[in-house]
Structure 1
Amino acid sequence: MARRENSEINAGSMADIAFLLLIFFLVTTTMDVDSGISRKLPEKSEDTPEVTIKEKNVLDITVNRNNQILIEGTDFIQVSDLRKIAMDFIDNGGGLSAPKGDKPGEACDYCQGAKDPASSDHPSKAIISLQSDRGTSYGMYVSIQNEIEAAYNDLRNRLALQKYKVSYKEMLKEYNDNGGEKLKAKIDLLKDSYPQIISEPEPIK
Protein backbone atom coordinates (compact mmCIF):
# COMPACT_ATOMS: atom_id res chain seq x y z
CA MET A 1 0.00 0.00 0.00
CA ALA A 2 1.37 3.38 -1.00
CA ARG A 3 2.38 5.76 1.83
CA ARG A 4 0.29 8.92 1.88
CA GLU A 5 2.43 12.04 1.90
CA ASN A 6 1.55 14.81 4.38
CA SER A 7 0.03 17.76 2.58
CA GLU A 8 1.69 21.11 3.27
CA ILE A 9 -0.25 23.70 5.25
CA ASN A 10 -0.93 26.81 3.24
CA ALA A 11 0.41 29.66 5.42
CA GLY A 12 -0.25 32.33 2.86
CA SER A 13 -3.32 33.65 4.70
CA MET A 14 -1.61 33.78 8.14
CA ALA A 15 -0.15 37.22 7.39
CA ASP A 16 -3.62 38.51 6.50
CA ILE A 17 -5.06 37.13 9.75
CA ALA A 18 -2.28 38.67 11.82
CA PHE A 19 -2.84 42.01 10.08
CA LEU A 20 -6.58 41.89 10.79
CA LEU A 21 -5.92 41.06 14.46
CA LEU A 22 -3.51 43.98 14.71
CA ILE A 23 -6.12 46.36 13.30
CA PHE A 24 -8.73 44.94 15.69
CA PHE A 25 -6.57 45.56 18.76
CA LEU A 26 -5.61 49.05 17.61
CA VAL A 27 -9.28 49.99 17.15
CA THR A 28 -10.58 48.48 20.39
CA THR A 29 -7.73 49.37 22.76
CA THR A 30 -8.24 52.49 24.89
CA MET A 31 -5.32 54.71 25.74
CA ASP A 32 -4.87 57.07 28.65
CA VAL A 33 -5.01 60.72 27.64
CA ASP A 34 -3.40 63.42 29.73
CA SER A 35 -6.01 65.63 31.35
CA GLY A 36 -5.56 69.13 32.66
CA ILE A 37 -7.22 72.32 33.72
CA SER A 38 -8.07 74.88 31.07
CA ARG A 39 -6.87 78.21 32.35
CA LYS A 40 -5.48 81.32 30.70
CA LEU A 41 -2.28 82.41 32.38
CA PRO A 42 -1.80 86.12 33.07
CA GLU A 43 0.44 88.03 30.72
CA LYS A 44 3.89 88.91 31.96
CA SER A 45 4.17 92.48 33.15
CA GLU A 46 7.44 94.36 32.91
CA ASP A 47 6.66 96.80 35.73
CA THR A 48 4.89 95.10 38.62
CA PRO A 49 4.01 97.67 41.28
CA GLU A 50 4.29 96.67 44.92
CA VAL A 51 0.85 96.21 46.40
CA THR A 52 0.06 95.96 50.09
CA ILE A 53 -2.50 93.22 50.65
CA LYS A 54 -4.55 93.08 53.81
CA GLU A 55 -4.63 89.71 55.50
CA LYS A 56 -8.43 89.79 55.64
CA ASN A 57 -8.56 90.05 51.84
CA VAL A 58 -6.92 86.62 51.45
CA LEU A 59 -8.79 83.34 51.91
CA ASP A 60 -6.22 80.65 52.70
CA ILE A 61 -7.06 77.15 51.45
CA THR A 62 -4.57 74.38 52.19
CA VAL A 63 -4.81 70.75 51.02
CA ASN A 64 -2.61 68.20 52.78
CA ARG A 65 -1.26 64.89 51.47
CA ASN A 66 -4.34 63.12 52.88
CA ASN A 67 -6.61 65.27 50.65
CA GLN A 68 -7.98 67.12 53.68
CA ILE A 69 -8.97 70.75 53.07
CA LEU A 70 -8.07 73.32 55.71
CA ILE A 71 -9.54 76.85 55.68
CA GLU A 72 -7.59 79.70 57.28
CA GLY A 73 -5.36 77.13 58.99
CA THR A 74 -8.05 76.21 61.53
CA ASP A 75 -11.13 74.49 60.07
CA PHE A 76 -11.29 71.25 58.11
CA ILE A 77 -14.07 71.25 55.49
CA GLN A 78 -15.45 69.04 52.73
CA VAL A 79 -15.14 69.87 49.03
CA SER A 80 -18.91 70.35 48.89
CA ASP A 81 -18.64 73.21 51.42
CA LEU A 82 -15.96 75.09 49.51
CA ARG A 83 -18.15 76.86 46.95
CA LYS A 84 -20.33 78.62 49.54
CA ILE A 85 -17.32 79.59 51.67
CA ALA A 86 -15.62 81.08 48.60
CA MET A 87 -18.78 82.94 47.55
CA ASP A 88 -19.31 84.40 51.02
CA PHE A 89 -15.70 85.59 51.08
CA ILE A 90 -15.65 87.09 47.57
CA ASP A 91 -19.07 88.73 47.91
CA ASN A 92 -18.60 89.97 51.48
CA GLY A 93 -18.28 93.65 50.54
CA GLY A 94 -16.95 94.64 53.94
CA GLY A 95 -15.32 97.86 52.72
CA LEU A 96 -16.86 100.96 54.27
CA SER A 97 -17.14 104.47 52.92
CA ALA A 98 -13.89 106.21 53.71
CA PRO A 99 -13.95 109.11 56.16
CA LYS A 100 -11.62 112.03 55.46
CA GLY A 101 -7.96 111.18 55.67
CA ASP A 102 -8.55 107.41 55.82
CA LYS A 103 -8.63 104.80 53.09
CA PRO A 104 -10.35 101.64 54.33
CA GLY A 105 -12.10 99.46 51.75
CA GLU A 106 -14.04 100.52 48.69
CA ALA A 107 -17.81 100.14 49.07
CA CYS A 108 -19.43 97.45 46.89
CA ASP A 109 -22.94 98.48 45.90
CA TYR A 110 -23.82 95.16 44.22
CA CYS A 111 -22.46 92.77 46.88
CA GLN A 112 -24.99 90.82 48.91
CA GLY A 113 -22.60 89.44 51.52
CA ALA A 114 -22.52 89.90 55.28
CA LYS A 115 -20.29 93.02 55.02
CA ASP A 116 -18.15 91.57 57.78
CA PRO A 117 -15.34 94.09 58.48
CA ALA A 118 -13.05 91.14 59.29
CA SER A 119 -13.51 89.63 55.80
CA SER A 120 -12.80 90.89 52.28
CA ASP A 121 -13.40 94.54 51.43
CA HIS A 122 -14.42 94.14 47.81
CA PRO A 123 -14.53 91.40 45.10
CA SER A 124 -11.71 93.18 43.27
CA LYS A 125 -9.53 92.82 46.38
CA ALA A 126 -10.58 89.29 47.39
CA ILE A 127 -7.76 86.80 46.77
CA ILE A 128 -8.13 83.03 47.11
CA SER A 129 -4.83 81.37 48.02
CA LEU A 130 -4.73 77.66 47.23
CA GLN A 131 -1.73 75.71 48.49
CA SER A 132 -1.47 71.98 47.99
CA ASP A 133 0.90 69.30 49.23
CA ARG A 134 3.10 67.35 46.85
CA GLY A 135 1.17 64.29 48.00
CA THR A 136 -2.24 65.78 47.19
CA SER A 137 -4.06 63.71 44.58
CA TYR A 138 -4.67 65.27 41.19
CA GLY A 139 -8.38 64.47 41.40
CA MET A 140 -8.76 66.38 44.66
CA TYR A 141 -6.83 69.36 43.28
CA VAL A 142 -9.07 69.51 40.19
CA SER A 143 -12.22 69.21 42.34
CA ILE A 144 -11.13 72.19 44.45
CA GLN A 145 -10.30 74.25 41.36
CA ASN A 146 -13.74 73.42 39.93
CA GLU A 147 -15.52 74.57 43.11
CA ILE A 148 -13.59 77.85 43.21
CA GLU A 149 -14.35 78.57 39.56
CA ALA A 150 -18.00 77.64 40.13
CA ALA A 151 -18.16 80.18 42.98
CA TYR A 152 -17.10 82.98 40.63
CA ASN A 153 -19.49 81.82 37.91
CA ASP A 154 -22.42 81.63 40.34
CA LEU A 155 -21.78 85.20 41.50
CA ARG A 156 -21.53 86.41 37.89
CA ASN A 157 -24.73 84.52 37.02
CA ARG A 158 -26.59 86.23 39.87
CA LEU A 159 -25.39 89.70 38.88
CA ALA A 160 -26.17 89.04 35.20
CA LEU A 161 -29.74 88.03 36.05
CA GLN A 162 -30.18 91.19 38.11
CA LYS A 163 -28.79 93.55 35.49
CA TYR A 164 -29.66 91.88 32.18
CA LYS A 165 -32.32 89.26 33.01
CA VAL A 166 -30.14 86.54 31.48
CA SER A 167 -27.48 84.36 33.07
CA TYR A 168 -23.74 84.81 32.59
CA LYS A 169 -23.52 81.25 31.24
CA GLU A 170 -26.13 81.98 28.55
CA MET A 171 -24.38 85.22 27.62
CA LEU A 172 -21.07 83.39 27.17
CA LYS A 173 -22.72 80.78 24.93
CA GLU A 174 -24.42 83.47 22.87
CA TYR A 175 -21.16 85.39 22.48
CA ASN A 176 -19.21 82.26 21.50
CA ASP A 177 -21.86 81.42 18.89
CA ASN A 178 -22.57 84.87 17.45
CA GLY A 179 -20.13 87.40 18.91
CA GLY A 180 -21.15 91.04 19.31
CA GLU A 181 -19.44 94.06 20.87
CA LYS A 182 -22.37 94.99 23.12
CA LEU A 183 -22.55 91.49 24.53
CA LYS A 184 -18.78 91.43 25.04
CA ALA A 185 -18.99 94.69 27.00
CA LYS A 186 -21.60 93.16 29.31
CA ILE A 187 -19.54 90.03 29.83
CA ASP A 188 -16.43 92.11 30.58
CA LEU A 189 -18.38 94.14 33.13
CA LEU A 190 -19.45 90.96 34.93
CA LYS A 191 -15.88 89.66 34.92
CA ASP A 192 -14.61 92.98 36.26
CA SER A 193 -17.28 92.97 38.97
CA TYR A 194 -16.14 89.53 40.15
CA PRO A 195 -12.54 89.13 38.91
CA GLN A 196 -11.07 85.68 39.39
CA ILE A 197 -8.00 86.26 41.56
CA ILE A 198 -6.33 83.01 42.63
CA SER A 199 -2.88 82.70 44.14
CA GLU A 200 -1.13 79.32 44.08
CA PRO A 201 2.02 79.19 46.25
CA GLU A 202 4.61 76.46 45.83
CA PRO A 203 3.35 73.04 46.99
CA ILE A 204 4.28 71.93 50.49
CA LYS A 205 7.06 69.33 50.46
Structure 2
Amino acid sequence: MARNKERGTPEVSSGSMADIAFLLLIFFLVTTTIANDKGILMQLPPPPEDDQPEIEFQERNIFKILANSNDQLLVENEPYNKPMSELKEEVKAFVLNFGNPDQEGIDTYNSLPSQMKVKAKQSPESSDHPKKAVVSFKANRGTSYELYIDVLDAVHAAYNEIYGERVGITSKEFLELDQSKDVEKRMYQQARAGIPKAISIAEPDK
Protein backbone atom coordinates (compact mmCIF):
# COMPACT_ATOMS: atom_id res chain seq x y z
CA MET A 1 0.00 0.00 0.00
CA ALA A 2 1.44 3.36 -1.11
CA ARG A 3 1.98 5.83 1.54
CA ASN A 4 1.10 9.44 1.04
CA LYS A 5 4.12 11.48 1.66
CA GLU A 6 3.57 15.05 2.64
CA ARG A 7 5.60 17.17 0.27
CA GLY A 8 6.54 20.74 1.02
CA THR A 9 6.21 23.63 -1.47
CA PRO A 10 9.28 23.69 -3.72
CA GLU A 11 11.45 26.74 -3.28
CA VAL A 12 13.21 28.68 -6.00
CA SER A 13 16.88 28.88 -5.34
CA SER A 14 17.88 32.52 -4.96
CA GLY A 15 21.52 31.87 -4.40
CA SER A 16 22.51 33.02 -7.90
CA MET A 17 20.23 36.08 -8.08
CA ALA A 18 22.87 38.32 -6.59
CA ASP A 19 25.34 37.14 -9.22
CA ILE A 20 22.86 37.80 -12.02
CA ALA A 21 22.10 41.29 -10.70
CA PHE A 22 25.80 42.02 -10.44
CA LEU A 23 26.41 40.87 -14.04
CA LEU A 24 23.52 43.04 -15.29
CA LEU A 25 24.94 46.03 -13.45
CA ILE A 26 28.34 45.47 -15.05
CA PHE A 27 26.69 45.11 -18.47
CA PHE A 28 24.82 48.42 -18.22
CA LEU A 29 27.86 50.25 -16.88
CA VAL A 30 29.96 49.03 -19.81
CA THR A 31 27.39 49.66 -22.57
CA THR A 32 25.85 52.94 -21.35
CA THR A 33 27.26 56.16 -22.79
CA ILE A 34 27.33 59.02 -20.31
CA ALA A 35 26.94 62.41 -21.95
CA ASN A 36 29.41 65.01 -20.79
CA ASP A 37 28.79 68.73 -21.09
CA LYS A 38 31.95 69.89 -22.82
CA GLY A 39 30.82 73.47 -23.32
CA ILE A 40 31.40 75.40 -26.54
CA LEU A 41 34.45 74.44 -28.57
CA MET A 42 36.30 77.63 -29.42
CA GLN A 43 39.86 78.24 -30.48
CA LEU A 44 41.46 80.95 -28.39
CA PRO A 45 43.97 83.32 -29.95
CA PRO A 46 47.63 83.02 -28.92
CA PRO A 47 48.88 85.36 -26.19
CA PRO A 48 50.25 88.64 -27.57
CA GLU A 49 53.97 89.06 -27.81
CA ASP A 50 55.66 91.62 -25.58
CA ASP A 51 56.86 93.72 -28.49
CA GLN A 52 53.63 93.45 -30.47
CA PRO A 53 52.16 96.92 -31.07
CA GLU A 54 48.64 97.58 -29.86
CA ILE A 55 46.21 97.90 -32.75
CA GLU A 56 43.64 100.65 -32.47
CA PHE A 57 40.32 100.39 -34.28
CA GLN A 58 38.15 103.24 -35.38
CA GLU A 59 34.78 103.18 -33.65
CA ARG A 60 32.94 102.89 -36.97
CA ASN A 61 34.83 99.68 -37.78
CA ILE A 62 33.42 97.86 -34.75
CA PHE A 63 29.91 96.40 -34.75
CA LYS A 64 29.07 96.12 -31.05
CA ILE A 65 26.68 93.53 -29.59
CA LEU A 66 26.09 93.44 -25.83
CA ALA A 67 23.98 90.97 -23.83
CA ASN A 68 23.04 91.50 -20.18
CA SER A 69 22.02 89.04 -17.47
CA ASN A 70 18.33 89.42 -18.41
CA ASP A 71 18.99 88.25 -21.99
CA GLN A 72 18.45 91.75 -23.35
CA LEU A 73 20.52 92.79 -26.33
CA LEU A 74 22.12 96.13 -27.06
CA VAL A 75 23.25 96.41 -30.69
CA GLU A 76 25.21 99.47 -31.74
CA ASN A 77 24.25 101.10 -28.42
CA GLU A 78 20.52 100.66 -29.12
CA PRO A 79 18.07 98.19 -27.49
CA TYR A 80 17.48 95.30 -29.86
CA ASN A 81 14.27 93.25 -29.93
CA LYS A 82 14.41 91.96 -33.50
CA PRO A 83 14.80 88.29 -34.50
CA MET A 84 18.24 86.79 -35.06
CA SER A 85 17.62 86.62 -38.80
CA GLU A 86 17.61 90.43 -38.91
CA LEU A 87 20.74 90.62 -36.78
CA LYS A 88 22.44 88.38 -39.33
CA GLU A 89 21.45 90.74 -42.15
CA GLU A 90 22.72 93.77 -40.23
CA VAL A 91 26.09 92.06 -39.68
CA LYS A 92 26.28 91.29 -43.41
CA ALA A 93 25.53 94.90 -44.29
CA PHE A 94 28.22 96.10 -41.85
CA VAL A 95 30.87 93.70 -43.18
CA LEU A 96 30.13 94.51 -46.82
CA ASN A 97 30.26 98.25 -46.31
CA PHE A 98 32.88 100.27 -48.18
CA GLY A 99 32.71 103.59 -46.38
CA ASN A 100 36.34 104.60 -46.79
CA PRO A 101 38.18 101.89 -48.73
CA ASP A 102 41.91 101.94 -49.32
CA GLN A 103 43.41 100.19 -52.36
CA GLU A 104 42.99 96.81 -50.68
CA GLY A 105 39.32 97.56 -50.03
CA ILE A 106 38.84 98.68 -53.63
CA ASP A 107 40.40 95.45 -54.87
CA THR A 108 38.04 93.45 -52.63
CA TYR A 109 35.04 95.37 -53.95
CA ASN A 110 36.10 94.81 -57.57
CA SER A 111 36.44 91.07 -56.91
CA LEU A 112 32.81 90.75 -55.77
CA PRO A 113 30.18 89.39 -58.17
CA SER A 114 27.79 91.98 -59.58
CA GLN A 115 24.86 91.02 -57.35
CA MET A 116 26.98 91.61 -54.25
CA LYS A 117 28.28 94.95 -55.55
CA VAL A 118 24.68 96.14 -55.89
CA LYS A 119 23.93 95.25 -52.25
CA ALA A 120 27.21 96.58 -50.86
CA LYS A 121 26.81 99.93 -49.12
CA GLN A 122 29.17 102.92 -48.99
CA SER A 123 28.12 104.54 -45.74
CA PRO A 124 30.91 106.66 -44.20
CA GLU A 125 29.37 106.04 -40.77
CA SER A 126 29.94 102.30 -41.01
CA SER A 127 33.02 100.17 -41.64
CA ASP A 128 35.76 101.36 -44.01
CA HIS A 129 35.86 98.02 -45.84
CA PRO A 130 35.50 94.29 -45.02
CA LYS A 131 39.08 93.73 -43.90
CA LYS A 132 38.77 96.41 -41.22
CA ALA A 133 35.28 95.35 -40.04
CA VAL A 134 35.18 93.69 -36.61
CA VAL A 135 32.10 92.23 -34.94
CA SER A 136 32.42 92.54 -31.15
CA PHE A 137 30.23 90.45 -28.83
CA LYS A 138 30.24 90.81 -25.07
CA ALA A 139 27.95 88.92 -22.70
CA ASN A 140 27.24 88.96 -18.99
CA ARG A 141 27.93 85.94 -16.78
CA GLY A 142 24.18 85.73 -16.26
CA THR A 143 23.42 85.59 -19.98
CA SER A 144 21.75 82.32 -20.96
CA TYR A 145 23.57 79.81 -23.13
CA GLU A 146 20.65 79.90 -25.57
CA LEU A 147 21.04 83.61 -26.30
CA TYR A 148 24.84 83.38 -26.36
CA ILE A 149 24.75 80.60 -28.95
CA ASP A 150 21.97 82.28 -30.97
CA VAL A 151 23.99 85.48 -31.32
CA LEU A 152 27.19 83.65 -32.31
CA ASP A 153 25.22 81.51 -34.79
CA ALA A 154 23.78 84.66 -36.40
CA VAL A 155 27.22 86.29 -36.69
CA HIS A 156 28.88 83.18 -38.14
CA ALA A 157 25.94 82.65 -40.50
CA ALA A 158 26.36 86.21 -41.80
CA TYR A 159 29.97 85.56 -42.76
CA ASN A 160 29.24 82.11 -44.21
CA GLU A 161 26.47 83.51 -46.40
CA ILE A 162 28.82 86.22 -47.67
CA TYR A 163 31.47 83.63 -48.49
CA GLY A 164 29.01 81.31 -50.20
CA GLU A 165 27.39 84.04 -52.28
CA ARG A 166 30.78 85.31 -53.37
CA VAL A 167 31.62 82.01 -55.11
CA GLY A 168 28.06 81.17 -56.18
CA ILE A 169 27.16 78.50 -53.63
CA THR A 170 25.04 78.30 -50.48
CA SER A 171 26.47 78.81 -47.00
CA LYS A 172 25.89 75.10 -46.30
CA GLU A 173 27.88 74.14 -49.40
CA PHE A 174 30.62 76.56 -48.37
CA LEU A 175 30.94 74.87 -44.97
CA GLU A 176 31.17 71.49 -46.67
CA LEU A 177 34.09 72.47 -48.96
CA ASP A 178 36.88 69.92 -48.69
CA GLN A 179 40.16 71.82 -48.55
CA SER A 180 42.10 68.65 -49.25
CA LYS A 181 40.88 68.99 -52.83
CA ASP A 182 42.62 71.66 -54.89
CA VAL A 183 39.48 72.96 -56.63
CA GLU A 184 37.51 73.32 -53.41
CA LYS A 185 40.48 74.78 -51.57
CA ARG A 186 40.83 77.50 -54.21
CA MET A 187 37.11 78.20 -53.97
CA TYR A 188 37.40 78.50 -50.17
CA GLN A 189 40.34 80.89 -50.44
CA GLN A 190 38.60 82.96 -53.09
CA ALA A 191 35.50 83.27 -50.91
CA ARG A 192 37.48 84.62 -47.95
CA ALA A 193 40.06 86.74 -49.75
CA GLY A 194 39.98 90.25 -48.30
CA ILE A 195 37.04 89.39 -45.99
CA PRO A 196 38.41 87.79 -42.81
CA LYS A 197 36.01 86.45 -40.22
CA ALA A 198 36.87 89.04 -37.56
CA ILE A 199 34.77 88.20 -34.49
CA SER A 200 35.89 89.54 -31.12
CA ILE A 201 34.40 87.85 -28.05
CA ALA A 202 35.10 89.91 -24.94
CA GLU A 203 35.37 88.45 -21.45
CA PRO A 204 31.92 88.43 -19.82
CA ASP A 205 31.07 90.91 -17.07
CA LYS A 206 30.56 89.49 -13.60
Query: TM-score under structure 1 normalisation?
Result: 0.77
Alignment-derived partner of residue 184 in structure 1: 185
Matched, 1:50 2:51: no
Question: Residues 96 and 188 (structure 1 numbering): CA distance in 2 closer, same or farther, change over 3 Å?
Answer: closer
Please give the secondary structure, in 1, of the residue aligned with 2:130.
Answer: coil
Contact kept, 8 Å, 2:105 with 2:194, in 1: the verdict is no
Alignment-derived partner of residue 102 in structure 1: none
Mapped to 2, the partners of 1:64 and 1:21 lie a distance apart of: 49
Report the Cα offset of residue 136 of structure 1: 0.3
Give 1:34's aligned amino acid.
Answer: D
Alignment-derived partner of residue 120 in structure 2: 113
Please give the secondary structure, in 2, of the residue aligned with 1:70.
Answer: strand
Mapped to 2, the partners of 1:160 and 1:22 lie a distance apart of: 55
Mapped to 2, the partners of 1:167 and 1:9 lie a distance apart of: 68
Give 2:202's aligned amino acid.
Answer: P
Question: Residues 135 and 11 (structure 1 numbering): CA distance in 2 closer, same or farther, change over 3 Å?
Answer: same
Matched, 1:154 2:161: yes
Deviation per CA, 1:34-73, whole angstroms, max 9, x where unpaired? 1433433334453423322110000110011111111012
Matches within 5 A, 1:28-43: 31-43=34-46
Alignment-derived partner of residue 197 in structure 2: 196
Query: Looking at CA atoms only, which structure, 1 or 2, has the larger radius of gyration?
Result: 2
Deviation per CA, 1:74-111, whole angstroms, max 9, x where unpaired? 1313333211111111111222468xxxxxx9434135
Picking from 129, 132, 137, the partner of 1:130 is: 137
Mapped to 1, the partners of 2:80 and 2:35 lie a distance apart of: 33
Deviation per CA, 1:144-188, whole angstroms, max 9, x where unpaired? 111110000000011011xxxx45643553425xx2345323312
Contact kept, 8 Å, 2:177 with 2:188, in 1: the verdict is no
Contact kept, 8 Å, 1:171 with 1:183, in 2: the verdict is no
Give 1:115's aligned amino acid.
Answer: Q
Contact kept, 8 Å, 1:168 with 1:187, in 2: the verdict is no
Contact kept, 8 Å, 1:124 with 1:192, in 2: the verdict is no
Mapped to 2, the partners of 1:5 and 1:143 lie a distance apart of: 71
Please give the secondary structure, in 1, of the residue aligned with 2:176.
Answer: helix
Give 2:91's aligned amino acid.
Answer: A
Question: Residues 85 and 13 (structure 1 numbering): CA distance in 2 closer, same or farther, change over 3 Å?
Answer: same
Give 1:81's aligned amino acid.
Answer: E
Mapped to 2, the partners of 1:16 and 1:97 lie a distance apart of: 78
**Identity within the alignment, %:** 38
Question: Residues 39 and 190 (structure 1 numbering): CA distance in 2 closer, same or farther, change over 3 Å?
Answer: farther
User: Bigger CA drift: 36-45 or 131-140?
Assistant: 36-45
Alignment-derived partner of residue 178 in structure 2: 175
User: Bigger CA drift: 71-80 or 52-61?
Assistant: 71-80
Number of residue pairs aligned between Structure 1 and Structure 2: 193
Query: TM-score under structure 2 normalisation?
Result: 0.77
Picking from 60, 63, 67, the partner of 1:63 is: 67
Contact kept, 8 Å, 1:58 with 1:120, in 2: the verdict is yes
